[in-house]
């Protein structure tokens, strides 16, 4: 008897759930002739600035045809990934989702997204819309499993007024690491033994990994040879340079500096405590909104030595169809729209974001909606995409960064030499790769 009641009440709960589910399915399924197919699109863009932009794009698409209706579901950053996984496992995922570009391959390997090869076969031109580096990052075993949506690239920003004060030419940024260091030190302002302003900090905004990429176009991983190259010569050189630069100011200064400008609070460059910084192209929006008319310059990252190249680093997001989505065909139609020039240009201009569509990025860089400064930064970023490396997480080494990052920190803290730290990281990652084969 007890069991019966238990069973009954539980079945009640179950029916409660399933009735909800079937309700969702009903509205989502292809209904009788002429009615629209509703597809569910998940993003983490819920902020006041981004939400209206993506919803305008969706709205435009919905109005442009009468077969598909896209419904936007906002889920908070972080939460959206776990929810996506759970819904895929439950067989009831979204039809389209915005996800990280670096793990497309991992998701493909683990049956979390849909192979788009058959769609691209029908629409082969779609492939050529994108910056090739971004499209390549969406491939797994040669097949696309996502289409790139947006990206970013690291640039050097400098404060022109401070350059003038320090007797430097405000229109000539440092070209090499040596110049960066030399000019940086000239821009320091010291009161007693406390720094009131620092010229440049090599691990502000970007880390050792980006300088390693900058040095020879390869970071921790050689994507051509598909192996870890963490302790190669240029990487050791880059980390040594960084470490020496770091030591010039010392732990205390840098720790204090870092703590004053945690992630939540103001940026030191914008606050006038730093004369040069290296950051994403859309860092410009912070200067624009909080810099109080700061005169700034922007340039590609300096190169290690003359001729080694100004390679930079970028990431980004893709849109993909989760495995098991009910309406992949309709999702593909919207995916095409989402990555086409009109939608991409709108996103680029409204968000000051580098978009994956080359033509849209090109158009955006001359957009009349941007100020002169905006155009300057955007077109440089657009140009910089040619020398921007993406670092999709190698299939064999899912959490390799977790093994490398602490070693880098140990080196910067003086607990290991750059060579030792990188050797240890290399060994640990090789071990990881061996175990994942």
Partner 1 sequence: MIQMEPKILGKSDIKRNSKHSKTMVSLQRKEGLQGYLFIAPWIIGFLFFLAGPLLFSLYGSFTNYNITSSMDFIGLDNFKKMFTNDPIIWLSLRNTLYFVVVSVPLTTAGAVLLAVLLNQGVRGMRVFRTIFYLPAVLSGVGVYLLWMQLLSPSTGLVNTLLGFVGIEGPAWLTDPSWTKNALIFMKMWSVGGGMLLYLASLQGVSPSLYEAAEIDGASTFRKFFHITLPMITPVIFFDLVTSTIGAFQIFQEAYVMSESGDGGPANSLVFYNLHMWNKAFEVFDMGYAMAMSWVLFIIILVLTVFNLKLAPRWVHYEGEDQK
Does 109 sit near partner 1 (CB under 8 A)?
yes
Closest CA to 258 of 204, 210, 202, 194: 204
Q: Are 404 and 416 in contact (CB under 8 A)?
A: no
Angle at which helix 233-260 crosses helix 400-412, to 10 degrees, equals 70
Helix and strand numbers, DSSP H then E, in the chain: 17, 17
Name the residue nearer to partner 1 (CB basis): 240 or 405: 405
User: How far is 104 from 356, CA to CA, in rounded Å?
Assistant: 15
Size of the site for partner 1 (CB under 8 A): 42
Which residues from 352-411 bind partner 1, rule CB under 8 A?
Answer: 398-399, 402-403, 405-406, 409-410
Q: Which of 17, 86, 117, 271 contacts partner 1 by CB under 8 A?
A: 86
Cβ proximity to partner 1: between 248 and 340 the closer is 248
Q: Which of 2, 33, 171, 368 binds partner 1 (CB under 8 A)?
A: 2
β-bridge partners, 176: 303
Q: Which of 18, 255, 366, 371 binds partner 1 (CB under 8 A)?
A: 255
Whole-angstrom distance, CA of residue 194 vs CA of residue 51 = 43
CB 104 within 8 A of CB 390: no
**Nearer residue to partner 1 within complex by CB, 192 or 293:** 192
| Only segment of 106-114, 141-149, 208-216, 280-288 that touches partner 1 (CB under 8 A) | 106-114
Nearer to partner 1 (CB atom), residue 386 or residue 415? 415
Measure the CA–CA gap between 433 and 44, rounded to whole angstroms: 32
**Out of 171, 193, 368, 435, which residue is the one contacting partner 1 (CB under 8 A)?**
435
CA dist 295 and 373 (Å) reads 9
Q: Which of 89, 141, 250, 383 binds partner 1 (CB under 8 A)?
A: 89
Least Cβ distance, residue 258 to partner 1 (angstroms) = 6
> Is residue 12 close enough to count as binding partner 1 by CB under 8 A?
yes
Structure tokens at 382: 């657009």
Positions in 63-82 near partner 1 (CB under 8 A) = 82
Q: State the binding string over 256-295 for partner 1 (x if CB under 8 A, else -).
A: x-xxx-xxx-------------------------------
Asked if 143 interacts with partner 1 (CB under 8 A), we say no
88 binds partner 1 (CB under 8 A): yes
Can you read off the two tokens belonging to residue 117?
């090869």
Note every long-range contact of 129-135, with CB atoms under 8 Å and residues 24 or more positions apart, other chains counting: 129/339, 129/340, 129/341, 129/356, 129/357, 129/358, 129/359, 130/339, 130/356, 130/357, 130/358, 131/356, 131/358, 131/361, 131/385, 133/314, 133/385, 133/388, 133/389, 133/390, 134/101, 134/316, 134/356, 134/390
Q: Please identify, using beta-carbon distances, which residue of 29 and 402 lies nearer to partner 1.
A: 402
Instruction: Tell me how far, at minimum, the Cβ of 398 lies from partner 1, in Å.
Output: 4
Contact residues for partner 1 (CB under 8 A)? 1-2, 5-6, 8-10, 12-13, 82, 85-86, 88-89, 109-112, 251-252, 255-256, 258-260, 262-264, 323, 398-399, 402-403, 405-406, 409-410, 413, 415, 428, 431, 435
């Amino acid at each position: 008897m007890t069991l019966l009641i238990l069973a009954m009440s539980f079945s009640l709960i179950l029916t409660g759930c399933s009735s909800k589910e079937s309700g969702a399915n009903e509205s989502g399924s292809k209904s009788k002739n002429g009615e629209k197919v509703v597809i569910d699109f998940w993003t983490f863009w819920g902020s006041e600035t981004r939400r209206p932009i993506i919803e305008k794009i969706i709205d435009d698409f919905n109005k442009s045809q009468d077969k598909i209706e896209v419904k936007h579901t906002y889920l908070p950053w972080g939460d959206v990934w776990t929810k996506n996984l759970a819904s895929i496992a439950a067989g009831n995922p979204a039809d389209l989702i915005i996800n990280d570009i670096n793990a497309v391959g991992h998701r493909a390997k683990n049956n979390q997204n849909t192979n788009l090869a058959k769609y691209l076969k029908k629409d082969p031109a779609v492939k050529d819309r994108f910056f090739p580096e971004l499209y390549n990052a969406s491939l797994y075993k040669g097949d696309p499993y996502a289409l790139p949506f947006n990206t970013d690239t690291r640039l050097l920003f400098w404060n022109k007024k401070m350059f003038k004060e320090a007797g430097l030419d405000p229109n000539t940024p440092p070209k090499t690491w040596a110049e960066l260091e030399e000019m940086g030190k000239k821009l320091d302002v010291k009161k007693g033994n406390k720094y009131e302003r620092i010229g440049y900090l090599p691990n502000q905004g970007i880390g050792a990994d980006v300088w390693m990429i900058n040095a020879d176009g390869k970071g921790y991983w050689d994507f051509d040879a598909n192996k870890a190259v963490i302790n190669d010569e240029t990487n050791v050189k880059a980390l040594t340079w960084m470490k020496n630069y770091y030591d010039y100011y010392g732990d205390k200064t840098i720790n204090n500096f870092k703590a004053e400008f945690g992630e939540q609070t103001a940026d030191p460059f914008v606050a006038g405590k730093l004369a040069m910084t290296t950051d994403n192209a859309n860092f410009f929006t912070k200067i624009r909104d909080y810099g109080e008319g700061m005169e700034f310059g922007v340039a590609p990252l300096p190169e290690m030595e003359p001729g080694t190249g100004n390679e930079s680093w970028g990431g980004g997001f893709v849109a993909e169809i989760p495995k098991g989505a009910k309406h992949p065909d309709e999702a593909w139609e919207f995916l095409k729209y989402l990555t086409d020039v009109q939608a991409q240009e709108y996103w680029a201009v409204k968000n000051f974001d580098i978009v994956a569509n080359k033509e849209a990025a090109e158009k955006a860089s001359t957009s009349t909606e941007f100020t002169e400064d905006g155009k300057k930064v955007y077109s440089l970023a657009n140009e910089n995409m040619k020398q921007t490396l993406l670092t999709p997480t190698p299939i064999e080494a899912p959490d390799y960064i977790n093994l490398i990052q602490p070693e880098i920190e140990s080196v910067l803290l003086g607990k290991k030499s750059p060579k030792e730290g990188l050797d240890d990281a290399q060994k640990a990652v090789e071990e990881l790769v061996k175990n994942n084969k």
